[in-house]
Structure 1
């Protein structure tokens, strides 16, 4: 409550009041003025008033005034408390934000509206700065102006963008007012505000919409005119332009028409185009929109006009210049006869479609192509659409839509049902005539029967599919040798993907020692001659050689000129391998026959030599007989020849031995028992990895033991510094049949690639002279083959060799 400004002067005021009252009281004593003059001098009324006034004041008036003041002060206090309570309730219940800060800007009070709008509870902000709701959207200049204003004692009004507790921004229209004491010193600041976020958004949206519509109005391609109709006796006589857009002037060439009558702008328009006034007047009165086309002779322009009414007596016209379209239509009509004659001179069917009226003209040739009577289609697309193959209908409709909307090329190939009940392939082509705005108004096109071409393409596709799925490599090349085609078979055979080799020279497939074949093949092709089943060697991507059989045919263009060659390459590596096996088998058979003959021929004289050598040895003197050394040497070498002859006899008799059911693991163990001493002496460990419970197998156990011994002895010889020999057995499937597999794997020096194909040849050995006959592996190969099995090897230099034997169970 403000302090009473009259309180410091209350005594003076009361004194003046009392003097005034004393004058009134003394005034009736004026009778004393009739006393003698000397008495009057002592009882002057003014003097008397000065005497009586203090007496009345101190003894009667002052007590009563004091009581009255206390009563008034109490009543004032009561009224002030009630007023403060009411004001507090108003502040709490108001929808406006209210908060009070100290003069230093520290919040001391916030009302519920502040809590609702800001999201902060009173206890979260009291004692803090209002900066807690700052959004950062206002710069330092804004806040400087705020403080300069309120510190000068003036209120500050502005729209604040604040941030609530959740981080969302809100806009508040606020007034910050300084509170002053009696000495005009600022004690507090009171801020009141209204949340205008929604209102501000609505205003911004309205402003944006207005701007958007203004831009649309100014930039629309169609002309726009807002006009007021002038009637006389309810008959349209004229109209006034109230507003027009930029396109109005661009399309009509008229300028500065706003506020003018149309008869002022185009003086003779009432006579030349009376229909304008009739239509505009009718729309302005009825409010029913209309659309029409008209030609303004005074402007030499055709217009397409849409008119509607915004209120009675007014209308809005939206129009476009269609002069070019109209001229095109006239041109098309004038050229109709020439077009008909031209259509008759071509084999394609011709059609034209008026997009606006949906009318279609068909040439007679179209009916011939469709094998239908002339006139069957009528003048629409309806029947033609029904003739489209069900699988092509969606594509047919989509291609037309894309052409009309996006001006994309129109050239679909569609199947149509012909009059004889068969489907034919037809190439549909067309182009559209468009108005100034780009809208299609007419479309002209042709239809060509491409059934024969599509059937040929289908055959080509089938051939391409055959080529692509062939296991043979089918390659196309130019005369220069550049690869032009490369099927999947070529990818699998040579290892090159099509993208890797197409465009490169086919010569990269030739080994160095066969590069001369490239020129020879090219010369043959140029002569128009073919090369059939030529067996040669090519190189795969990984560098491995590949044995192939080539058939090469010249390729000719439409004029018969040779432009390249087609190469069909077949992988004959496996066939060659089988041929080698047969050849090897035949060689071994011949060697076997030779060996048998030699053995019998050598055995007889050898027996005589060995017998005499042994007889002589027995007759030698016990000591220092000079014949001892030569005779012993004869005996030793004769025994070696005997062993060799026995090997030849074994080799020749592998097919005559008897067979019986055997347990293969036991047979192998019996063979190992004969070489275990040799293995230990050469630091070779024998490792067994036998599958248990293998079925019995019919074979000649002694011969199989001989095979195992031969393989193990060879392995021991290949490991002069020691190593391991691992023997494995297991049941496998070989060419769809059950078989027993035996593997002998060593960790020796390995066998070179050039020798791997020779190891099974008779008398081939890599051992030093005198240490091997070269018959061990060839005999082993013969034994396994006689059992209906196979023996193969895998070897890597420095790693070792693995021999794999497979013998069928039945």
Structure 2
């Protein structure tokens, strides 16, 4: 019997009666379900049981006389899986149990083991007893469980995000319904207001025709001029109010697919008229640089008006967000071959990259609740898409934004 087996017999004999046959201990050693290897002080394998063959792919006879390093993965050749460590000779110096140890097989694959080291010292020998318990399948299942848990957690988070987005969308749709109802109501209000305005205009004109001649007969030039000027101002104010109501009624009216050759500059002017009072109250100055002889475009004028109102109100809100109490909007038009180009630029708060990438998404808004539904720019994008037009945005946080639109003169003629 080999020296290693003799050593093993001496250790095991401490708990077994002396008269137990030697073959009994050899059978226990060889038939153990765990792989067992004895190693001398130099790290050389002196004995191995049957289970080590299944674990490592080496025959017992191949291992005897080899260093324990035969199980150590080579740096630069083998990649140790994460959260694992390779078996090493240094483990033999410290008795104990090491979990999740990576052992290299003969075929180059890995096995995961719980590695137990016991130092055996008696009168005749000093050696190390090592036990390998294969936990590869257990570790695989643990890793798979961790992976599935992570996937489940991510799916749960995604579901929470989707639920939050759905709730927000539902609230937005409710608000959109309220706004639609308000639009219908506003159209009726505009109609009702238009009648008394016309009455005021009529009575004022009558005063101009009746009262002014009579004042002249009093030969009071100063009073005559004052009354005439006041009446003229009333008529002018009424005309402006009627014009704004007319723009408003046209805007809230359901848009039809009525396309015609339209001057974009006229639509811009109408949008500025509708928003002019708001701009003045916020200290916003509009600078217009319109190209001469700008060709018309084949489009729906009311839809173009909606696009320009959306761009102008976005610029207004961006300027207001700076807190300066004033700001500037620059509007420029030009002809580019078969296209008309319109630029809306402001010196407002600007946008970061994340906001800029989502600016045309439906229901996306950075405004407070009640101050916007996130539909303006997405609707504008849809209107322009029908014209095969493009809209791009350039912006930096704190440096304002510029929206550039290119509309073909007639999208029907595009190839």
Tell me the TM-score normalised to structure 2 length: 0.49
Highest RCO, 1 vs 2 (Cα 8 Å, sep ≥ 6):
2
Higher fraction of helix: 2
Higher fraction of strand: 1
Tell me the TM-score normalised to structure 1 length: 0.29
Larger Rg: 1
